[in-house]
């Protein structure tokens, strides 16, 4: 008898307990138990992970900041006449032709300067933060999609797959599962490279493993083997039934993976989440070619990404899947504003996040980043949007998760952001509000002893905080509901080292960031 | 009591069932429990790759302490990789080494040399006896990760020779040597770190991954053990280094590291309070070594590397108990030994904690360990001449690669995820893709074998039987092979199933009789084929059990 069958028949509640590590762990997010789920939801998200920290300023160039960029990163800055026009104040890297086409078709959303307070510049720590959706100060052990799936399927992996859920919940298109899908007991994603080369594995016969660390690992291995067989059968079936209509670029690994995803979806696979890693963005050196800033390693990556995503969404549309699939990029951080002498950039802070598909709210969300006259050493882009607000909004709009549950999955200060629309109904009011700029002024700047801050509240909850050039939230000036009208606050210079700072005003889902210099 | 019952009882004493205890209480004190096959096998599985039946029995006779001494005995550097059969190298004759030879503008010499390096490396692992050196070399490769972003095999050779030289040597001196190693200078852009625009890449990883590790972020740019300002200052301290000879075709350019004073920042560099506000003044080409001495003043460095050793040799989970009773004493021992690794490793491999019953078996083998376990423990023979052996070793290299562990190409500067990524750790090796490759590998060596142009490389059931103490008894065959291949005993139901493969539906004596017949008629092809085929099917089933994936 197969192990899985054995478990099912005896009804034993075998779980793999979480092995707590010696490291100190902070509070975990509260487990949400979702109440209002729509079983007919057929939405799919594809996450493209840009491994290494993507240099947003070399993707989307804020033209209103071009002169200051020329001062800070002259040796790598893209020449104006080679850029692709997108809006009057934003041009794309010339390699992003495919994305420009998506943008012009209203199928691209760009969220400006996405990050989190107290940016951690370690690849590994920051990636953990982006994968889990934790605050910078806490180490969480489950991924954001892992928690979402676990709230729906708390006993996974025991007795999965089953008749009701025969397909993998998530697939990582790589040889290592993505931490975004890590649950308490196991990872909700399976790996897949080639859907046509899956052959059945020998399954061990059922003996109850001992209640020891050895037994736990043995149980993990047995479940992995039997699940692999069951899911593989479903994948092979979908691959045989599916097809692609549009051509994909050749010599493009990412395109191959996206093509497989389109194939599997068209063949009826019900997987909700696909993760596709794309490595090489840690461009400390030779990000651009010396003397030819439009060429180099980063340009190659951007054209791979852009061509692949463009072909993928054209194919999805041709297959009639356009309204079911959205693609989103993420990366552990952006890079510093200043370039180094190796024609590269070092680890920084915020960066733009991109979404693609028929159901995105098209265009830019947020203002262009502000590049100071004198950029500090190690300075990154000031964060405008918290990545957890993007994640949570995706769960709300795409998977119909109620806002309260989203708060429990991430944090209580969650703010909805209009990044996706359920295609049929657009939240017009939210869009209208988003379009209006918030009022935030600070004077004088530069300042020494203190500066005056003026802003207008619409009666909403208001958070005003000060970030330094490293992306740390150094002060919270207010964080409460404020009455309608004009408000003035004093920013005390005492205790602030000279340098570039950024005031970030958040009012419900809208935010505004203004730079200020302390001397 | 019949003979079989006696036998079974005897064998089951070899590894009695675990008591139901769920937490480890032992520490770094020397182990004083039983020393038998199970313990010796555990020690050699963890400290080497795939110990043979013979070596495990040798270790039982040697005793624990003497085995550990032998594991950590200094050895000469192995002879370097050579040109095995590439006739067209204008600089290197067949049979000579290429490690100091230039490249050619026309002929691609890098390709054969890369193959030579990789097969040589796998050959060293494959041929190693009771020594922990290759396991430690791979440990350092994982720790000071350098990967396929570099293409010149000369750089890799020099780098791996350095790591092997320091296998259990002085950690601080190793960090100094790695810091200006040509491969590392290139990999983390130390060679482009210049005074006017420092490149922080190496400085950050020196702190975060190589020495002190990163603590919780407790303030703006402050990671408890170091700050962003330290990274910036240390990058300046490390300015001025370069290397030459990368993929060079010029016979007059030797591969070397150099220091260029003109690119070195001579200003004072201020470290943070995390490093006692030390100001580092210009010391030219000695400044990097001074910096490493400063970092090593912090005891956290000792804890950090001891945790990594623990995860490499013992288990991924470091409980509070292990932190207090194993890691901390290891760290204090390391500090007392002025950062010599050997006494610490010896203490760990001799410790009660290492031999605690709960630490026997819960490590999922990494792919190289997995491949080597199958090849070495079943003593799969390779063809006679070096050239053909090298082809076979390269096959092992590429098999491990498919299972996601490619020597000389860890995924990034943090090394392989299985040794740091919470909460999954070793489990990261296992997924739908790698399982197919793991099972594909063991199935292949038990069926048609790997075709490398002459005799296929495959398990020989008759030769395996000759290794065993009691090959005529089918129960003993299963018991002995289980003790060799699995860290913990199988359940009775599993043994019964395995016996059903060896002698399907027949009484035990049929095996004894048939094997006896074969022994008296070794030239009877039919008998040989039938015994071999039964054995190979048994081995194939055993290697496909998840128990074989554990160490």
User: What is the per-residue pLDDT across B213-255, written as a single tens digit (0 to 9) for each?
Assistant: 999 888 888 999 999 999 999 999 999 999 999 999 999 999 9
Cα distance between residue A498 and residue A517, in whole Å: 7
CB neighbourhood size of A39 (10 A): 6
Residue B419: per-residue pLDDT: 97
- The partner residues of A58 in beta bridges, in order of sequence, read none
CB neighbourhood size of B129 (10 A): 13
CA angle (A406, B218, A132) in 5-degree steps: 30
Residue B420: per-residue pLDDT: 95
The H or E element that residue B161 is part of is helix B153-165
Predicted confidence (pLDDT) per residue in A270-281, tens digit:
999 999 999 999
Q: Are A350 and A379 in contact (CB under 8 A)?
A: no
Cα distance between residue B445 and residue A509, in whole Å: 60
State yes or no: pLDDT of A22 exceeds 70. no
Residue B22: per-residue pLDDT: 58
Residues of chain B with Cβ-Cβ distance to A216 below 8 Å are 362
Percent composition of chain B: helix, strand, coil (DSSP 3-state, to 5): 55, 5, 40
Residue in chain B closest to A117 (alpha carbons) equals B220
Which of A4, A26, A121 has the highest number of chain B CBs within 10 A, making it the mutation to test binding with B? A121
The H or E element that residue B10 is part of is helix B3-14
What average pLDDT does this structure show over B516-533? Answer: 91
pLDDT band at A398 (very low <50, low <70, confident <90, very high): very high
Euclidean distance between the first and final Cα of chain A, in Å?
Answer: 75
- CA B197 from chain center: how many Å? 38
Predicted confidence (pLDDT) per residue in A295-348, tens digit:
999 999 999 999 999 999 999 999 999 999 999 999 999 999 999 999 999 999
CA angle (B336, B339, B341) in 5-degree steps: 105
State yes or no: pLDDT of B317 exceeds 70. yes
- The partner residues of B436 in beta bridges, in order of sequence, read none
**Could you tell me the CA-to-CA distances from B368 to A320, A430, B201, B293, B364 in Å, in that order?**
45, 55, 29, 35, 11
pLDDT band at A186 (very low <50, low <70, confident <90, very high): confident
Cα distance between residue B527 and residue B515, in whole Å: 8
Predicted confidence (pLDDT) per residue in B367-424, tens digit:
999 999 999 999 999 988 899 999 999 999 999 999 999 999 999 999 999 999 989 9
pLDDT band at A204 (very low <50, low <70, confident <90, very high): low
pLDDT band at B327 (very low <50, low <70, confident <90, very high): very high
Q: Which residue in A126, A142, A143 sits closest to A47, CA to CA?
A: A143
Residue A30: per-residue pLDDT: 46
Residues of chain B with Cβ-Cβ distance to A116 below 8 Å are none
Beta carbons of B323 and A191 less than 8 Å apart: no
Residues 6 or more apart whose CB falls under 8 angstroms from that of A76 comprise A58, A287, A288, A293, A339, A343, A344, A345
Residues of chain B with Cβ-Cβ distance to A495 below 8 Å are none
Residue A264: per-residue pLDDT: 95
Q: How high is the mean pLDDT of chain B?
A: 93
Residues 6 or more apart whose CB falls under 8 angstroms from that of B275 comprise B226, B230, B294, B295, B298
What average pLDDT does this structure show over A452-471? Answer: 88
CA atoms within 13 A on the CB side of A169: 25
In the β-sheet with A485-492, what is the strand arrangement from edge to edge? A440-443, A450-457, A485-492
Residue A184: per-residue pLDDT: 85
Least confident of A5-14, A361-370, B393-402, B524-533: A5-14
Tokens (6 digits) for A324 = 């079911």
Query: DSSP per residue over A279-306, as a string?
Result: -----SS-SSBTTBTTSSHHHHHHHHHH
Q: How high is the mean pLDDT of chain A?
A: 87
Beta carbons of B228 and A121 less than 8 Å apart: yes
pLDDT band at A39 (very low <50, low <70, confident <90, very high): low
Q: Which residue in A278, A281, A287 sits closest to A78, CA to CA?
A: A287
Residue B157: per-residue pLDDT: 98
State yes or no: pLDDT of B493 exceeds 80. yes
- The partner residues of A46 in beta bridges, in order of sequence, read A274, A327
State percent of chain B over pLDDT 90. Answer: 87
Q: Which residue in B242, B241, B240, B230 sits closest to B206, CA to CA?
A: B230
The two beta strands, A44-50 and A325-330, are parallel
**Could you tell me the CA-to-CA distances from A329 to A275, A326, A391, B551 in Å, in that order?**
10, 10, 11, 39
Q: Which residue in B365, B407, B404 sits closest to B142, CA to CA?
A: B407
Cα distance between residue B330 and residue B343, in whole Å: 9
Cα distance between residue B295 and residue B274, in whole Å: 10
Residues of chain A with Cβ-Cβ distance to B328 below 8 Å are none
Beta carbons of B188 and A125 less than 8 Å apart: no
The two beta strands, A108-115 and A363-365, are parallel
Residues of chain B with Cβ-Cβ distance to A340 below 8 Å are 192, 197-200
Cα distance between residue A419 and residue A109, in whole Å: 7
Per-residue DSSP letter, B28: S
Beta carbons of A344 and B219 less than 8 Å apart: no
Cα distance between residue A285 and residue A302, in whole Å: 16
Q: Which residue in B238, B234, B112 sits closest to B180, CA to CA?
A: B238
What average pLDDT does this structure show over B163-168? Answer: 98
Beta carbons of B546 and A124 less than 8 Å apart: no
| B156 vs A17, more confident | B156
Residue B24: per-residue pLDDT: 80
State percent of chain B over pLDDT 70. Answer: 96
Residues 6 or more apart whose CB falls under 8 angstroms from that of A400 comprise A36, A37, A38, A41
CA angle (B1, B7, B11) in 5-degree steps: 135
What is the ipTM metric for this complex?
A: 0.93
Residue A437: per-residue pLDDT: 74
Closest Cα of chain A to B204: distance in Å? Answer: 8
Q: Which residue in A469, A401, A371, A503 sits closest to A64, CA to CA?
A: A371
Residue in chain A closest to B439 (alpha carbons) equals A201
Predicted confidence (pLDDT) per residue in B254-288, tens digit:
999 999 999 999 999 999 999 999 999 999 999 99
Residue A202: per-residue pLDDT: 73
CB neighbourhood size of A435 (10 A): 10
Beta carbons of A284 and B427 less than 8 Å apart: no
**Could you tell me the CA-to-CA distances from A211 to A13, A105, A509, B38, B156 in Å, in that order?**
13, 57, 49, 20, 44
pLDDT band at A9 (very low <50, low <70, confident <90, very high): very low
Q: Are A13 and B414 in contact (CB under 8 A)?
A: no
Beta carbons of A211 and B199 less than 8 Å apart: no
CB neighbourhood size of B214 (10 A): 19
Burial code (b: 16+ CB inside 10 Å, e: under 16) for B320-332 equals eebbebbbbbbbb
What average pLDDT does this structure show over B85-103? Answer: 96
What average pLDDT does this structure show over B93-107? Answer: 96
Cis-peptide into B423, omega within 30 deg: yes
Residues of chain A with Cβ-Cβ distance to B497 below 8 Å are 205
Residue A38: per-residue pLDDT: 66
State yes or no: pLDDT of A21 exceeds 60. no
Beta carbons of A22 and B320 less than 8 Å apart: yes
State percent of chain A over pLDDT 70. Answer: 89
pLDDT band at B7 (very low <50, low <70, confident <90, very high): very low
Predicted confidence (pLDDT) per residue in B29-75, tens digit:
999 999 999 999 999 999 999 999 999 999 999 999 999 999 999 99
Residue B20: per-residue pLDDT: 42
pLDDT band at A177 (very low <50, low <70, confident <90, very high): confident
Predicted confidence (pLDDT) per residue in B209-219, tens digit:
999 999 988 88
Q: Are B445 and A204 in contact (CB under 8 A)?
A: no
State yes or no: pLDDT of A260 exceeds 90. yes
Closest Cα of chain A to B536: distance in Å? Answer: 16
């Amino acid at each position: 008898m197969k192990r899985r069958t054995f478990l099912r028949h005896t009804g034993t509640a075998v779980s793999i307990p979480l092995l707590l590590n010696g490291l100190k762990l902070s509070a975990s997010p509260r487990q949400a138990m979702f109440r209002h789920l729509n079983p007919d939801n057929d939405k799919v998200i594809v996450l493209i992970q840009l491994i290494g920290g993507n240099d947003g300023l070399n993707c989307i160039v804020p033209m209103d900041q071009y002169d200051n960029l020329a001062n800070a990163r002259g040796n790598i800055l893209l020449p104006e006449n080679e850029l692709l026009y997108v809006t009057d104040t934003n041009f794309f890297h010339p390699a992003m032709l495919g994305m420009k086409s998506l943008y012009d078709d209203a199928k691209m959303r760009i969220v400006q300067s996405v990050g989190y307070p107290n940016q951690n510049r370690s690849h590994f720590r920051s990636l953990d933060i982006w994968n889990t959706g934790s605050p910078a100060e806490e180490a969480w052990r489950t991924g954001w999609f892992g928690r979402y799936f676990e709230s729906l399927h708390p006993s996974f992996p025991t007795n999965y797959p089953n008749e009701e859920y025969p397909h993998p919940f998530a697939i990582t298109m790589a040889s290592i599962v993505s931490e975004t899908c890590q649950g308490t007991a196991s990872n909700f994603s399976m790996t897949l490279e080639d859907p046509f080369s899956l052959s059945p594995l020998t399954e061990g016969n059922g003996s109850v493993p001992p209640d020891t660390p050895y037994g736990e690992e043995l149980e993990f291995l047995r479940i992995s083997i039997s699940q692999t067989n069951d899911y593989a059968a479903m994948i092979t079936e979908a691959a045989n039934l599916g097809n692609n209509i549009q051509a994909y670029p050749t010599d493009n690994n990412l395109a191959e993976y996206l093509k497989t995803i389109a194939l599997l979806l068209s063949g009826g696979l019900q997987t909700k989440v696909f993760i596709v890693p794309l490595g090489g963005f840690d461009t400390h050196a030779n990000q651009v070619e010396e003397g030819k800033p439009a060429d180099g390693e980063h340009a190659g990556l951007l054209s791979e990404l852009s061509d692949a995503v463009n072909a993928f969404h054209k194919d999805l549309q041709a297959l009639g899947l356009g309204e079911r699939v959205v693609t989103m990029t993420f990366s552990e951080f952006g890079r510093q504003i200043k370039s180094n002498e190796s024609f590269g950039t070092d680890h920084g802070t915020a960066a733009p996040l991109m979404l693609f598909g028929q159901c995105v709210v098209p265009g830019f969300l947020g203002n262009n980043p502000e590049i100071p006259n004198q950029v500090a050493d190690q300075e990154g882009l000031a964060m405008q949007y918290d990545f957890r607000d993007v994640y949570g909004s995706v769960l709300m709009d795409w998977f119909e998760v109620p806002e309260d549950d989203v708060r429990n999955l991430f944090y209580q200060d969650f703010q909805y952001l209009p990044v996706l629309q359920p295609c049929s109904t657009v939240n017009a009011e939210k869009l209208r509000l988003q379009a209006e700029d918030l009022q935030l002024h600070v004077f004088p700047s530069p300042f020494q002893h203190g500066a005056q801050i003026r802003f207008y509240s619409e009666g909403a909850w208001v958070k005003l905080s000060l970030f330094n050039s490293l992306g740390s939230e150094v002060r919270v000036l207010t964080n409460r509901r404020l009455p309608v009208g004009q408000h003035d606050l004093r920013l005390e210079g005492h205790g602030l080292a000279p340098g570039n700072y950024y005031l970030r005003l958040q009012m419900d889902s809208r935010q505004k960031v203004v730079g200020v210099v302390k001397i | 009591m019949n003979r079989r019952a006696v036998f079974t009882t005897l064998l089951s004493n070899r590894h009695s069932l675990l008591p139901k205890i769920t937490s480890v209480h032992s520490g770094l004190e020397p182990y004083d429990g039983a020393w038998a096959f199970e313990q010796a096998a555990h020690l050699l599985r963890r400290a080497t790759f795939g110990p043979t039946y013979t070596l495990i029995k040798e270790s039982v006779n040697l005793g624990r302490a003497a085995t550990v001494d032998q594991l950590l005995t200094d050895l000469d550097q192995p002879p370097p990789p050579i040109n095995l059969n590439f006739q067209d190298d204008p600089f290197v004759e067949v049979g000579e080494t290429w490690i100091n030879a230039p490249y050619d503008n026309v002929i691609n010499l890098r390709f054969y040399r890369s193959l030579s390096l990789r097969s040589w490396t796998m050959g060293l692992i494959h041929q190693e006896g009771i020594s922990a050196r290759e396991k430690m070399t791979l440990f350092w490769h994982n720790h000071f990760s350098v990967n396929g972003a570099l293409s010149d095999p000369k750089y890799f050779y020099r780098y791996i020779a350095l790591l092997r030289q320091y296998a259990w040597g002085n950690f601080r001196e190793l960090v100094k040597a790695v810091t200006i190693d040509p491969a590392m200078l290139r990999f983390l852009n130390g060679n482009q770190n210049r005074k006017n625009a420092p490149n922080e890449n190496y400085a950050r990883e020196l702190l975060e991954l190589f020495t002190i590790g990163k603590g919780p972020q407790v303030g703006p740019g402050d990671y408890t053990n170091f700050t962003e300002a330290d990274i910036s200052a240390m990058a300046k301290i490390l300015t001025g280094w370069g290397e030459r000879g990368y993929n060079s075709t010029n016979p007059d350019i030797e591969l070397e590291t150099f220091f260029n004073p003109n690119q070195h920042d001579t200003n004072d560099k201020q470290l943070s309070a995390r490093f006692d506000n030390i100001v580092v003044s210009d010391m030219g080409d000695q400044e990097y070594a001074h910096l490493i001495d400063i970092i090593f003043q912090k005891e956290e460095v000792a804890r950090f590397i001891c945790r990594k050793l623990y995860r490499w040799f013992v288990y991924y989970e470091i409980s509070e108990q292990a932190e207090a009773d194993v890691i901390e004493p290891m760290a204090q021992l390391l500090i007392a030994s002025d950062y010599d690794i050997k006494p610490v490793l010896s203490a760990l491999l001799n410790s009660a904690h290492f031999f605690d019953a709960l630490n026997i078996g819960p490590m999922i083998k990494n792919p190289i360990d997995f491949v080597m376990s199958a090849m070495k423990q079943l003593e799969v023979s390779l063809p006679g001449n070096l050239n053909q052996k090298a082809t076979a070793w390269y096959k092992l290299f590429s098999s491990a690669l498919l299972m996601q562990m490619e020597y000389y190409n860890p995924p990034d500067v943090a090394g392989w995820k299985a040794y740091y990524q919470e909460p999954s750790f070793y489990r990261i090796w296992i997924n739908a893709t790698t399982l197919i490759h793991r099972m594909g590998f063991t199935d292949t060596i038990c069926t048609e074998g790997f075709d490398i142009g002459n005799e296929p490389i495959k398990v020989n059931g008759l030769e395996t039987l000759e290794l065993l103490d009691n090959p005529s008894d089918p129960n003993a065959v299963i018991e002995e092979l289980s003790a060799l291949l699995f860290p913990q005993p199988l359940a009775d139901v599993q043994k019964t199933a395995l016996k059903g493969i060896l002698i399907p539906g027949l009484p035990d004596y049929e095996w004894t009789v048939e094997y006896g017949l074969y022994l008296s008629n070794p030239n009877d092809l039919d008998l040989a084929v039938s015994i071999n085929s039964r054995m190979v099917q048994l081995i194939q089933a055993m290697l496909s059990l998840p128990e074989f994936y554990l160490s």
